[in-house]
């Protein structure tokens, strides 16, 4: 996704995440020049200024136009983060309505194929929402992972990470939750998500199943996952506040 240009004229550069990242790095540092194409574009656009010290050494300083661009990207990132967190919270609550116990922000050990294609290796998976059925039968917990995406670029980057998806599938059933763009359109078509995952989309404020996840054989959770769940607090259920009033 392109960031807004500092100069709205017809010959303005289009800036991406790499440009904003470089501006932030220079803003936080002494501004030593790298003399690469990225820096050339930022200088030509007036987002950086050259500063020559009395010793003759040259450094870089973020211009006023560069500061304005950084401020606009910061506001955009905050808005996207808020939209992501709101959708994550909504999914967690929906899981509670469905009679499940949900967690947010877990770090779970999962097994994925080794890089050389032989054997397997362990990694840490961090699903947006992880939930299990509220049951006393270990083999009936039916674990589900929900990965929430509100930006198309983030989704496409995530889909290229086969090991990350394999880790989610090792933990349980995997669903992608797709938000909407600024025009209210879904950020991707369900067909763009690999078929081993389910797809939930937001339509007119409602969560709609665009494609169900393939059913998996029932089974329990690895001991390490149980230990991780025991050390964390699940999302509050819908009836917990009401139960507190009755106490």
Three-class secondary structure of residue 97 per DSSP: helix
| pLDDT score at 12 | 44
Q: Which residues, at least 6 apart from 132, have a Cβ–Cβ distance to it below 8 Å?
A: 100, 101, 141, 142, 143, 144, 221, 229
| Burial of 189 (C-beta count, 10 Å sphere; 0-12/13-18/19+) | exposed
Segment holding 155, helix H or strand E: helix 152-159
Three-class secondary structure of residue 196 per DSSP: coil
| pLDDT score at 7 | 45
| pLDDT score at 53 | 87
pLDDT digits (tens, 9 = 90+) for 199-226: 999 888 889 999 999 988 888 898 889 9
Contact 142, 173 (CB under 8 A): yes
| pLDDT score at 244 | 47
Question: Which residues, given as ranges, of the chain have pLDDT below 50?
Answer: 1-12, 241-247
What are the angstrom distances between the C-alpha of 221 and each of 37, 61, 113, 145, 230?
Answer: 50, 53, 19, 13, 12
Q: Which domains does the chain have, with CATH numbers?
A: 17-73 (1.10.10), 99-234 (no CATH)
pTM to 2 decimals? 0.67
| pLDDT score at 6 | 42
Instruction: State the DSSP code for 36.
Output: S
| pLDDT score at 237 | 64
CA–CA distance, 178 with 166 (Å, rounded to integer): 19
pLDDT digits (tens, 9 = 90+) for 151-178: 999 999 999 989 999 999 999 999 999 9
| pLDDT score at 13 | 57
Segment holding 103, helix H or strand E: strand 100-104
| pLDDT score at 140 | 92
């Amino acid at each position: 996704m392109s960031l807004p240009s500092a100069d709205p004229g017809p010959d303005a550069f289009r800036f991406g995440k790499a440009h904003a990242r470089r501006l932030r790095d220079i803003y936080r540092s002494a501004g030593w020049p790298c003399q690469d194409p990225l820096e050339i574009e930022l200088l030509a656009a007036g987002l950086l200024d050259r500063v020559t010290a009395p010793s003759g050494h040259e450094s870089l300083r973020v211009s006023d136009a560069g500061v304005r661009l950084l401020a606009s990207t910061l506001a955009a990132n905050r808005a996207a983060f808020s939209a992501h967190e709101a959708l994550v919270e909504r999914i967690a609550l929906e899981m509670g309505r469905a009679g499940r116990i949900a967690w947010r922000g877990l770090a779970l050990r999962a097994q994925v194929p080794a890089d050389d294609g032989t054997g397997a290796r362990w990694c840490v998976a961090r699903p947006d929402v992880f939930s299990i059925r509220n049951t006393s039968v270990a083999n009936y917990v039916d674990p589900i992972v929900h990965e929430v995406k509100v930006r198309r670029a983030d989704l496409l980057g995530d889909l290229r990470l086969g090991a990350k998806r394999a880790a989610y599938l090792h933990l349980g059933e995997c669903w992608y939750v797709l938000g909407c763009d600024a025009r209210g359109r879904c950020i991707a078509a369900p067909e763009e998500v690999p078929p081993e995952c389910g797809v939930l989309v937001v339509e007119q404020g409602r969560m709609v199943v665009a494609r169900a996840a393939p059913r998996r054989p029932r089974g329990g959770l690895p001991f390490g996952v149980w230990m991780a769940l025991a050390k964390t607090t699940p999302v509050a259920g819908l009836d917990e506040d009401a139960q507190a009033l009755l106490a």
